[in-house]
Amino acid sequence: MNKLKVLSVLICGGISTSSLAINPQVDPENPNGYVVSRVELNASRDAKTADPMYAIWAKALETSSNAVVEAIYPNLPTNPDNVKRAERIFPEAEWDFLTKMAAPEYTYTRFLRAIGKFPAFCGDYIDVAKDADAICKKSIVTAFAHFAQETGGHISKDNISDNPQQLEEWQQALVHVREMSWSEGDAGYTVGCNEQNWQTSRWPCVAGKGYFGRGAKQLSYHFNYGAFSEVMFDGDASVLLNNPGLVADSWLNMASAIWFFLTPQAPKPAMLHVIDRTWVPSQRETNAGIGYGFGTTINVINGGIECGAQNETKGQPVNRIRYWEGLSAYYNIDIQSDELNTCYQQTPFGSINLEGATDVLYTNWEGDWTYYADRPEGQSFECKLVAYQTAYSALVPGDYEKCVTNFHNSHAGWPQIRVVDQLDTPVVEPPVDGVAAWVDSKVYLRGDQVSYQTGIYEAKWYSQGNIPGAGDPWKVIKAPTVTP
């Protein structure tokens, strides 16, 4: 099996010189701001996300249009290829077998539509060593093991009065479409809605709406509803912030779970990439006991509460493991020798110390506070990758530019930035005695020499936009030729 080596992304501070060409120019429309080339910004972004895993993560989160999704029905020849694979591997009879207690809002059609929204789920692989059918089957069974814990009936097979069909507990998934004790119209789960932070700025709560758990994954809190809405509705967070009940009453009740299954939350990998082994544990993760197997998917979902030695006998992880073992045995899932069902031997992802790690990739952008001596006002005009959540994802198209402009435009003392497709090319005079001509938008440091109108000048300190020959900060090295 071919494995992609996860390379390092170093988070640095202090003073830096430019590693890439970022050449801000004074904004002709705003004397207090600068214009930056979109080409240069994109080159900066691409250099920081050059590791192949970034492309794999982004590919996994690609979506089909809702028009295509809502045309999906069982056994249609027009269904997308990944849906056809899911139907073949997990036909409606198997759905019925595992959902005999399920709420009526969960249907096989909605399950297929959720899969159809994300072509990477049950999708193909370029790597021929990967068995796409086996990965699809294992993904569905893994998802149902977690459904059985998150939304299951949890009724003993021997409790005939409440379980007259004597169903196994792993057959009791998707009983709850809404979190118990909550109903539509209840304005709950509003913790943080009135705080001034990046989450409420990007995904503001709507008065009177409740963001309690809904759907197969029990999506909760306004920031998760907003982020999921952006994926489902072409970047529009307001749809689900205004109508959170759609996550219970439409095919989004299954799509929310598939979305979570495919989304990495650094340093957590996507569950799909644990299963298909696209993800390779870093040394820090290996040292923390984290490798392949169902146990790692528990760590991804709820490691802070369910993983670690103190949780070995705790109800939630014990249930998940029982459900996984029952389902994987029934469906003859191939479990490799290096896979563990448990996570009590693992440190939760959120408790791993990543300080100084050189083999971990991060998925969020933050303003780069590094001082750049050769850029205007010492500012970076860039963003950097960080190991915590921010409003800007490295996997979302356009978020890098938003990070750069929003950070610089919103922080006191930082210059305002406007991104343009093409910078105006300044008129540059020929060099004098081999010394390049002065450019008004360029930053010059102490000792830098320029030519201007046949003279040569040397900067005594930082300079940008100061005309040589007009006094400080320039000293004359060679006087300009005086024309009689």
| Residue range of the domain that includes 21 | 15-51+361-420
How many independent structural domains does the chain possess?
Answer: 3
Q: Are residues 181 and 87 in the same domain?
A: yes
Select from 279, 311, 337 the last residue of a domain. 279
Answer whether residue 440 shows pLDDT above 80: no
Domain assignment present for residue 205? The answer is yes
Q: Is residue 187 part of a domain?
A: yes
Sorted by sequence, the CB contacts under 8 Å of residue 410 that are 6+ apart come out as none
Q: Are residues 264 and 374 in the same domain?
A: no
| Cis upstream peptide for 267 (omega within 30°) | yes
CATH number, domain containing residue 186:
1.10.530.10
> Is residue 483, in this structure, part of any structural domain at all?
yes
Residues 368 and 481 placed together within one structural domain of the fold: no
- 399 and 467 both lie in a single domain: no
Residue 445 lies in a domain: yes
| Whether residue 416 sits in one domain with residue 432 | no
- What is the pLDDT averaged over residues 138-154? 97
Residue 29 confidence (pLDDT)? 86
Which residue, 229, 250, 279, sits at the end of a domain?
Answer: 279
Strands 474-478 and 455-459: antiparallel
The DSSP-derived string for 11-44 is ---SEE--SS----EEETTEEEEEEEEHHHHHHH
Give tens-digit pLDDT for 445-471.
889 999 988 899 999 988 887 888 888
Q: Exactly one of 150, 366, 382, 401 is catalytic; which is it? A: 150
Q: Same structural domain for residues 137 and 264?
A: yes
For residues 373 and 225, state if they share a domain.
Answer: no
Q: Are residues 432 and 482 in the same domain?
A: yes
* The domain boundary residue, chosen from 399, 420, 441: 420
| CATH number reported for the structural domain that contains residue 458 in this entry | 2.10.10.20
User: 184 is written with which tokens?
Assistant: 């539509």
Q: 31 and 121 in one domain?
A: no
Question: Contact at 8 Å (CB) between 341 and 373?
Answer: no
151 lies in the same domain as 260:
yes
SS3 (DSSP) at 74: coil
- Specify if 83 maps to a domain: yes
DSSP per-residue letters across 223-278: HHHHHHHHHHTTT-THHHHH-TTHHHHSTHHHHHHHHHHH--BTTBPPHHHHHSS-
pTM for this predicted structure: 0.82
Residue 428 — pLDDT band, cuts 50, 70, 90? low
The two three-digit tokens of residue 103, written as one number: 């709420």
pLDDT of residue 15: 46
Annotation marks residue 150 as catalytic: yes
CA distance 385 to 363: 7
